[in-house]
Structure 1
Amino acid sequence: MKMLARCCAALLLLLLLATGGLLAWSWAPDLPLDELKAHWALPPSQFIEVQGMQVHLRDEGPRDDPAPLLLLHGTSSSLHTWDGWAQALAGKHRVIRLDLPGFGLTGPFPDGDYHMPQYTAFLAALLDKLQIRQVVLAGNSLGGQIAWETALAYPQRVARLILVDSAGFPLQSTSVPIGFRLARIPALAPVIGKILPRQMIESSVRNVYGDPDRVTPQLVDRYYELTLRAGNREALVQRFGQRDDPTLNQARVSRIGIPTLIIWGGRDGLIPLPHAKQYQLAIKGSQLAVFDGLGHVPQEEDAQATAAAVAQFLGD
């Protein structure tokens, strides 16, 4: 009995040591905002006050563009996902991209509300602040849903629509990044706010690429460090807990009557290609461009090819 007790005590000690080691290895407190700005808010970044938040954005290209291109990133991403599009398109178009509330350097909504009406009202307020009447609105994943929801809520503000692997319909995922799976478990919220293994971020980014070999250490650094902006991890858990019912969206999307380009990665496992067909069927006259070798963030994985499709859609 004494030997059994000693073995149990030894196993318990090893378990405690292993747990402590794991926590120490993955412990990740928030990074100071000034430190993050020094790295990720280089020119032409600016911050403007909207609804009590200091919104991180970049505004490039000719100011006489009657309908600027406004780019909205997806979950856990940032305005940097559009770097390639901005470089390719800002010669002829005014290109505006921002960190949506809850992500990047903008940080969380003050009231913790991440429902779609909150996001669409925020975009309307942003356009008012920038004194822009109408935009071509493009969005990837979550940003895609915010884009088409804004087109429905404020039709006079959206001239054209570009949906890139857009959310909005009931998910038929074949592969979900581990970070998203964990954020959907409310009981883990206190832990998620304190630990963040960099390897988990790398795994999640590789998961959404069609070719994981395109994921560089620098890319992982960006996703990892911006997740550590104060409030972003808590905002992610809150947003997953506030998801709107998507079952009625097919009929709602069918009300969209503006020129629409649908861009999709053929290897997207998070929001697979059948979702693109749903959008094409729902939006009368819409165009679909499928990039067979790309994943969930095609604008980031191959900016040149996807931006060329946008340029053609815009009549360049």
Structure 2
Amino acid sequence: MKTIAKILGGFVVVIIALFLFFAERDRPVEELIPLYANKDSKFMPIMGMKVHYRDEGVATDTLPLILLHGMSSSLNTWDNVALYLKRYKRVISLDLPGFALTGPSPENNYDFPYYSKFIDSFATRLKIKRFILVGNSMGGAITWNYALHNPSRLAKMVLIDAAGYPKKGESGSLGFKLASTPVINNLLLYVTPKSLVRKSLESIYADQSKVTDEQVERFHDIAIREGNREVALQIFKGSFHGDYKRIKEIKTPTFVMWGAKDQLISVDNSAEFMKDIKGSQGVIFNVGHVPMEEVPFDVALSIYKFVR
């Protein structure tokens, strides 16, 4: 018993030491806007939030693209893809509720029905009747769930390393593992070291040289934006409950993209989506979890060919 008590005591001491060394305050969004908003950034008051978005490209396009990022990410994940596509299409990227500069929803609700309602409201405010959704990872799961929610408004969709099916033994990122570990994950409300951010980013790229100090700084800053850590923890504890068996009901024309070296969501899932969504097309790139960042031109070209 004394040995166990010593071990537990030592563990507590280590946890307290880590907390004291790494703990840092939330950053007010007012501090972050000058750093991460640009001349194309707009802020829409909607559903109790000020949603950060960019509306670029061909203003007369009647079937615009709406781009949805993944977990703990931001609209910046689409920067290079938007650079190519906005020559030909209207391209709208946004920070989803709970993330980046948009921050928490006052409803404190982060499930698929909520995000579907948000997309409806967002598109309506922009006076968009029909659109094409493009989603990566968590954004991909939000996309295919929206296809079930309001198929008449969704002309087409593109799924990029999309979440949805049960895990297939993927190794995952260090950050995701910690965030999914009971008790320890509560520390992430206060402790978000840049070293952890870097390790997590390195696990989502096949080419780790693409992880820059600037990226690490941005991901760290948007992670500790006021309220965002609480949202991330809530999601990791299980606020999303999509029914992957309903994917077979989807009739929306679909294009599936995947990174062959994705460690977070196995490339095997691409075959699952294409089997379940009849008539869907797909392509595999020799990259990791975020093809739009590793091979943006190839992703943009594939999207353009599919939607033109």
TM-score class, shorter: over 0.9
CA distance in 2, matches of 1:282, 1:312: 22
2:190 alignment partner in structure 1 = 194
**Percent of aligned pairs with the same residue?**
38
CA contact (8 A) 2:104 2:228 kept: yes
1:295 corresponds, among 284, 288, 291, to: 288
1:210 corresponds, among 206, 209, 226, to: 206
Comparing 25-34 and 75-84, the one that deviates more: 25-34
Aligned length: 300
State the Cα deviation string for residues 246-302 of structure 1 (Å, max 9, x = none): 5x413x11222122110100000111111000000011111111002x111111122
* Alignment of 1:97 onto 2:93: yes
Shift of 1:178: 1.5
CA distance in 1, matches of 2:212, 2:294: 11
1:229 alignment partner in structure 2 = 225
CA contact (8 A) 1:36 1:105 kept: yes
CA contact (8 A) 1:189 1:234 kept: no
State the Cα deviation string for residues 37-76 of structure 1 (Å, max 9, x = none): 0000111011001111110000001111111000000000
2:76 alignment partner in structure 1 = 80
2:237 alignment partner in structure 1 = 241
CA distance in 1, matches of 2:260, 2:190: 35
State the Cα deviation string for residues 188-211 of structure 1 (Å, max 9, x = none): 354211111100000001011111
CA distance in 1, matches of 2:238, 2:170: 22
1:284 alignment partner in structure 2 = 278
1:311 corresponds, among 260, 279, 304, to: 304
2:276 aligned partner, one-letter code? A
1:4 alignment partner in structure 2 = none
1:263 alignment partner in structure 2 = 257
2:119 alignment partner in structure 1 = 123
- Find the residue that maps to 2:43 and give its secondary structure: strand
1:142 aligned partner, one-letter code? M
CA distance in 2, matches of 1:112, 1:284: 35
CA 1:54/1:256 → structure 2, altered by over 3 Å: closer, same or farther? Answer: same
Shift of 1:20: 5.9
Supply the RMSD in Å over aligned alpha carbons.
1.8
2:3 alignment partner in structure 1 = none
CA 1:276/1:259 → structure 2, altered by over 3 Å: closer, same or farther? Answer: same
1:151 alignment partner in structure 2 = 147
In structure 2, runs of 5+ residues without a counterpart are 1-5
2:29 alignment partner in structure 1 = 33
CA distance in 2, matches of 1:174, 1:74: 17
CA contact (8 A) 1:26 1:198 kept: no
Q: How does 1:12-91 map to 2 (within 5 A)?
A: 22-91=18-87
CA distance in 2, matches of 1:255, 1:231: 36
TM-score (norm 1): 0.90
CA 1:257/1:182 → structure 2, altered by over 3 Å: closer, same or farther? Answer: same
- Find the residue that maps to 1:156 and give its secondary structure: coil
Shift of 1:22: 3.3
1:64 aligned partner, one-letter code? T
- Find the residue that maps to 2:107 and give its secondary structure: coil
CA contact (8 A) 1:173 1:271 kept: no
1:140 alignment partner in structure 2 = 136
CA contact (8 A) 1:112 1:238 kept: no
Shift of 1:107: 0.6
